[in-house]
A and B are shown apart, each in its own frame.
Chain A
């Protein structure tokens, strides 16, 4: 398994990274609120993302109530249903998952895992969070403006997004676009920090090829986000101008309510291209950090080195690069030229290769490992299962001829919830259970964790597995009420009711999780510095939780990769990255 070169200390150039000038907080405000410490910013990001995520969770309950029991809940009308769909999707994809993976996990783990004292520009990093918070507040404010939030669907396709038939046309869509623009500005400030920290601020001995895969995943996703969000930025600006100034970038000549609108000559397809040039990389922006986290969880909790580290890194980079040339597979039914469809179907299927490499490598890491079924491990296993499931339906939808009949059915909804809803959130949960002891110094409660895991995993399957079947029947997505239709049997309605009950139960389990987070903060078992006996640097900090500057007086020196588990001949079944070679027994371990 020696596919990583273990350079001796002699090969490492002398450390010239001096004591970094840290911003030292002088008051409670600058320590906990306007903090420039990446760890505090990470917690702020995570709490904000989870708070707005709870809003999206409640919206999904309301949607499921309506779908499962149409006509029963008079307070949900068709317009509100569309608004719920839109806000649920937008919040979950951008304000929860992107912010949590990059702003939350990224801020906390990057400096610790690469052995830096902080992000390279802490002040900019702090601004990033506050702009993100502003974006979230603007987004939340759309619930209270006249007309409510926009109901255009999370893709915000023009022309309907800004026409009067769509709910939220007054203020909702304007604030939504403004919020997206703010989010992108805020993210860019943070993202630049993450990338430069990984590239330029690693500790001595930490080559890129010794970084834990979590850092690789977050790093690649951040680079992608810096290149993909510009397209959404431009699309949002132009759509905002179409709505506010009456320009016609995306608006063709059309008749609304029997009257010719002021618009004319624009291209709605242009918006779709811009949106999906962002939108497809976005899928991998939330998937790659999940890949990385899962790799580390599996390796640590199976006490085995990750199988094929180098290939795992290249697969992450290849997926990141390929994801920029597949965007139009979201547009097979938009009237695109068939040859384009051929091209984009081909590139889409090629992505399956690096993805499959990753899945095989996870499974081979587990193979004959010393598997500990801890909560993080359970979530990691659930991630692999869910991701394979969603990935396979992705192969269906990537083919033009299969996609066309399945387009805009519940099959699509089931697919993307499996692959970029449930799977990444499994990685989020696994990551939180894994790193919570480092963040707080206490373990999360095991019994509540078991309950949370099983209800969430089985419940999510109960919701989304039958949804594939509904989609194959032809049940359309985004319909407030299916009504009596010849091709949908009565049993499908029963299935819908079952899924709704399951969704409510899954939602309840998340409240238990939130309770666990708060309860364990005060009452959890003391964790110690390295409860999982893990190798990577964040577990080797002198204090837990890590203090300001992370490392005390001296930065750690890295002698090995992050996956020295169960090394033959070693005294313990793990060797921390910063343990010098001299401490090892003569043979067995690497020089």
Chain B
């Protein structure tokens, strides 16, 4: 990013009280968010828009689930696995959730090391995050395969409302796509970090702009968002 963050915003004039003060603060000179770079602002606003997409998906699923006249399949049963003779409900989903939340931890550590300009550890932690993400997608593929083998289709399933399969494939598919994009994003940025692009201010291939270590944090924002969305999907789809 060529632009620098405003570090010295000078002595601000006396703040107005109440709403006028809030409005004056937000609308103040040059930038609304003083120490936020363009890239970070853009990612936040994109995530806000994406939140609306996932909200619409989840609300549509909940509408379908509440209005269907056929019984909804019991997720605890559908997503149970037999491991070593024991029948454990939701075990795969629990492991997937654990993995994804762990990946948020490694991502946060990567951001920390990124700001310390520790190339090797940052890249390693980002790759670890990507590996967690890839594992998550792999387990999701396993889950899809299992359900498809059991006869779940977007247009029907053996246990009840056809909207079950439709919502399941659509929502987890859309989320899985987000995770996959995140993994690719992580690997691409990790490569740049590893190569030292942000230390030598190498210009981007497409944009011809210089990058800096903040991109690690921006990647992290996206990654944490995808995690957070999963928590909602977990709660509304699997636990309901």
Q: Which of A62-70, A227-235, A480-488 forms part of the interface with chain B?
A: A227-235
- The answer to whether B163 touches A7, judged by C-beta atoms less than 8 angstroms apart, is no
Q: Does A205 reach chain B (CB closer than 8 Å)? A: yes
Query: Which residues of chain A are within 8 angstroms of B67 by Cβ–Cβ distance?
Result: 265, 267, 270
Q: Which of A193-201, A356-364, A368-376 forms part of the interface with chain B?
A: A193-201
CB-CB under 8 A for A196 and B42, given A207-B27, A267-B67: yes
Query: Which residues of chain B are within 8 angstroms of A196 by Cβ–Cβ distance?
Result: 38, 41-42, 45
- The answer to whether B10 touches A192, judged by C-beta atoms less than 8 angstroms apart, is no
The minimal Cβ–Cβ distance linking B161 to chain A, given in whole angstroms, is 6
Q: Does A20 reach chain B (CB closer than 8 Å)? A: yes
Query: Which residues of chain A are within 8 angstroms of B163 by Cβ–Cβ distance?
Result: 247-249, 265-266
Query: Which residues of chain B are within 8 angstroms of A247 by Cβ–Cβ distance?
Result: 154-155, 162-163, 165-166, 170
- The answer to whether B154 touches A206, judged by C-beta atoms less than 8 angstroms apart, is no
- The answer to whether B48 touches A18, judged by C-beta atoms less than 8 angstroms apart, is no
Interface residues of A in 196-237 (CB under 8 A from B): 196, 199-209, 226-227, 229-231, 233-235, 237
- The answer to whether B27 touches A208, judged by C-beta atoms less than 8 angstroms apart, is yes
Q: How far is the CA of A200 from the CA of B46 in the complex (A)?
A: 15
Query: Which residues of chain B are within 8 angstroms of A233 by Cβ–Cβ distance?
Result: 53, 56
Interface residues of B in 39-93 (CB under 8 A from A): 39, 41-42, 45-46, 48-50, 52-53, 55-57, 60, 63-64, 67-70
Query: Which residues of chain B are within 8 angstroms of A466 by Cβ–Cβ distance?
Result: none
CB-CB under 8 A for A245 and B155, given A21-B210, A204-B30, A234-B56: yes
Q: Does B236 reach chain A (CB closer than 8 Å)? A: no
Query: Which residues of chain B are within 8 angstroms of A18 by Cβ–Cβ distance?
Result: 2-4
- The answer to whether B32 touches A234, judged by C-beta atoms less than 8 angstroms apart, is no
- The answer to whether A208 touches B32, judged by C-beta atoms less than 8 angstroms apart, is yes
Q: How far is the CA of A249 from the CA of B3 in the complex (A)?
A: 46
- The answer to whether A265 touches B48, judged by C-beta atoms less than 8 angstroms apart, is no
- The answer to whether A207 touches B48, judged by C-beta atoms less than 8 angstroms apart, is no
Mark each residue of chain B from 3 to 44: 1 if its CB lies under 8 Å from any CB of chain A, else 0: 110111110010000000001101111111100111101100
The number of residues on chain A lying at the interface, defined by a beta carbon within 8 Å of a beta carbon of chain B, is: 59
Query: Which residues of chain B are within 8 angstroms of A16 by Cβ–Cβ distance?
Result: 4, 6-8
Mark each residue of chain A from 166 to 203: 1 if its CB lies under 8 Å from any CB of chain B, else 0: 00000000000000000000001001110110011111
- The answer to whether B29 touches A195, judged by C-beta atoms less than 8 angstroms apart, is no
Q: How far is the CA of A381 from the CA of B87 in the complex (A)?
A: 74
The number of residues on chain B lying at the interface, defined by a beta carbon within 8 Å of a beta carbon of chain A, is: 56
Query: Which residues of chain A are within 8 angstroms of B170 by Cβ–Cβ distance?
Result: 237-238, 241, 247
Which B residue's beta carbon lies closest to that of A195? B45
- The answer to whether A206 touches B29, judged by C-beta atoms less than 8 angstroms apart, is yes
Q: How far is the CA of A195 from the CA of B36 in the complex (A)?
A: 14
Query: Which residues of chain B are within 8 angstroms of A120 by Cβ–Cβ distance?
Result: 38, 42
| B residues adjacent to A (C-beta < 8 A) | 2-4, 6-10, 13, 23-24, 26-33, 36-39, 41-42, 45-46, 48-50, 52-53, 55-57, 60, 63-64, 67-70, 154-155, 161-163, 165-166, 170, 174, 206-210
CB-CB under 8 A for A226 and B48, given A13-B29, A274-B60: yes
Which B residue's beta carbon lies closest to that of A188? B49
Which B residue's beta carbon lies closest to that of A278? B56
Q: Does A17 reach chain B (CB closer than 8 Å)? A: yes
- The answer to whether B30 touches A202, judged by C-beta atoms less than 8 angstroms apart, is yes
Q: How far is the CA of A416 from the CA of B33 in the complex (A)?
A: 38
Q: Does A465 reach chain B (CB closer than 8 Å)? A: no
Which A residue's beta carbon lies closest to that of B43? A192
Query: Which residues of chain B are within 8 angstroms of A15 by Cβ–Cβ distance?
Result: 30
Q: How far is the CA of A270 from the CA of B67 in the complex (A)?
A: 10
- The answer to whether A265 touches B161, judged by C-beta atoms less than 8 angstroms apart, is yes
- The answer to whether B3 touches A192, judged by C-beta atoms less than 8 angstroms apart, is no
10 contacts between A and B (CB under 8 A): A23-B207, A121-B207, A188-B49, A196-B45, A201-B38, A202-B30, A227-B49, A234-B53, A247-B162, A265-B69
Query: Which residues of chain B are within 8 angstroms of A249 by Cβ–Cβ distance?
Result: 60, 64, 163, 166
Query: Which residues of chain A are within 8 angstroms of B207 by Cβ–Cβ distance?
Result: 23, 121-123
Q: Enumerate the 4 nearest inter-chain pairs by beta-carbon distance, A residue then B residue, closest first.
A: A208-B27, A247-B166, A13-B10, A21-B2
